[in-house]
Copies of this chain bind each other. A is one copy, B any other.
Amino acid sequence: MSITRPTLILNEAIARRNIARMAGKARRCDVRFRPHFKTHQSAAIGEWFRAEGVRAITVSSVVMAEYFADHGWDDITIAFPVNWLEVETINALAMRVKLGLLVESVETARFLRERLAAPADVWLKVDAGYGRTGLAWDDSAGQAAVAGALAGSERLRLRGLLCHSGHTYAARGEKAIRAVWNESVQRLTAARESLAAAGFPGLELSPGDTPGCTVADDFSGVDEVRPGNFVFHDTMQVEIGTCGWPDVAVAVACPVVALHPERGQIVVYGGAVHLSKERLALPDGRVHYGAVALPVEGGWTLPIPGAFVTGLSQEHGIVSAPPGLLEQVKLGDLLMVLPVHSCLTANLLGRYRTTLGETIPMARF
């Protein structure tokens, strides 16, 4: 591989194994696997999911839905609150694919009744404890009001309750993640029971986050799962306890451009426009933007203990390096940075290069 500048390296075997594991668990549990494609944003990688039997997907924007619809996907949930300003594009999509939309207010339910031009499934966006957006899981009156505003619509079919329990990202360890998962499923179930009692029976449940879906022993009690990040994982997932380093499928190859042994630092070509400024805390209170490994034939080593990207400018990355690494590295070498958040890093780098040397394009919006 002749790599000359920051390049997103993808180990296809690891990604395919991650997909196969999650698809297998969903199959065993007889639960629909509707993976979130925002992580990879690539039609080619989408085919790896199709090979595992995936037919239904999740995306995080209307333009991303268009991109995957253009690449043969016809069952797409846009897991983002309906943006009124995009109703024309939503209508065009609803005419050509089986579309799922997220609604969390009576206003948006009414807006869609008035403006939606083709059939769509509606998922009530429920906040199961994360606190980002959605109707509170225990707001039975609010949920029933939205369901009521949809009732009798010719085009809108209330399909179920959907949540993203992103607070698993604040958990550490499988036990803590599993507790959030179980609580989320219980809360969705309680909301479904309230809605059934209010005259809206038969709703499906759809939880979503990678930590929960990875760590949960099974998916009993829900109808579909929507994890996304698990296809690549990243340093954050390892930190949370979702997975181990051998499950991380992407790293950014960064050329070494300066050495500062006097302060234990290596400067790489690889900055905020390549890695993103997503960060994690180190035990000593500093922050970091990625763990650092060495390139080897076919991939990269385990991260080097104590080696982290601790500073980022637009194009510069500052690696805090233990003495052993500094002795080993020369100008013109590559270091491999395992990103904190692979979704953001992939979005910035805009294409993949596999460890076998193949280039895989992705959408750029």
Contacts and interface: CB of A to CB of B under 8 A. Distances in A.
A279 interface: yes
Contact of A259 (B4, B63, B105, B334): B105
A358 interface: no
Contact of A81 (B38, B133, B134, B258): B258
B255 A85 contact: yes
A296 interface: no
Nearest to A108: B331
Report how many copies the assembly holds.
Answer: 2
A313 B132 contact: yes
Interface string A55-82: 0000011110000000000000000111
Nearest to A350: B364
Interface string A203-222: 00000000000000000000
Contacts of A306: none
B344 A272 contact: yes
B272 A276 contact: yes
Contacts of A347: 273, 314
Contacts of A269: 61, 80, 83
A353 to B, nearest CB: 14
A interface residue count range (under 10 / 10 to 19 / 20 to 34 / 35 or more): 35 or more
A278 B272 contact: yes
A297 interface: no
Nearest to A279: B277
B80 A331 contact: no
Nearest to A131: B263
A197 interface: no
A276 to B, nearest CB: 6
A134 B107 CA distance: 57
Contacts of A260: 133
29 contacts: A4-B86, A4-B89, A5-B83, A5-B85, A38-B314, A38-B315, A60-B314, A61-B315, A81-B258, A81-B267, A82-B257, A83-B255, A84-B257, A84-B332, A85-B255, A85-B332, A105-B258, A107-B331, A111-B332, A132-B313, A132-B316, A132-B318, A133-B257, A133-B316, A133-B318, A134-B258, A272-B276, A273-B347, A277-B277
